[in-house]
Amino acid sequence: KAGVTQTPRYLIKTRGQQVTLSCSPISGHRSVSWYQQTPGQGLQFLFEYFSETQRNKGNFPGRFSGRQFSNSRSEMNVSTLELGDSALYLCASSLAGTYNEQFFGPGTRLTVL
């Protein structure tokens, strides 16, 4: 089985811009979760999508949003970028939810200048 893929792998943006990150889950997985990883805050849960519906959301501002398509692929969008949004963004897929084993992608490294 092909693993979880994320595109792009690296991204440089400036403050105020917006960005869209993409995640393709393992075939057959219906749940996709997104995480932000920073040296200071560690791994923080952003949100989870299941069957095109956001099922759970972490404690992030509304500038962070996402969606899931009928093929389970997911996108994450961050609007009005701030310097503090610089991070590694990981997505993970699982069969049915975060209580199952999650398979992680390689991440997208976002740098906000």
Partner 1 sequence: AQRVTQPEKLLSVFKGAPVELKCNYSYSGSPELFWYVQYSRQRLQLLLRHISRESIKGFTADLNKGETSFHLKKPFAQEEDSAMYYCALSDNYGQNFVFGPGTRLSVLP
By the rule CB under 8 A, 7 interacts with partner 1: no
Q: How many residues bind partner 1 (CB under 8 A)?
A: 24
Q: Which stretch binds partner 1 (CB under 8 A): 17-25, 62-70, 71-79, 100-108?
A: 100-108
Could you report how far apart the first and last alpha carbons of the chain are, in Å?
37
Going by C-alpha positions, the residue among 10, 69, 58 that lies closest to residue 35 is 58
Phi then psi for residue 72, to 5 deg, are 75, -5
33 lies in the binding site for partner 1 (CB under 8 A): yes
Contacts to partner 1 from residues 46-65, by CB under 8 A? 48, 55-56
Here's the x/- map for partner 1, 67-96, by CB under 8 A: it reads as -----------------------x-x---x
Beta-sheet strands, E only, within the chain: 5-7, 10-13, 19-24, 31-38, 42-50, 53-57, 64-68, 74-78, 87-94, 103-104, 108-112
Q: Is residue 102 near partner 1 by the rule CB under 8 A?
A: yes
User: Site residues (CB under 8 A) for partner 1?
Assistant: 3, 31, 33, 35, 42-45, 48, 55-56, 90, 92, 96-106
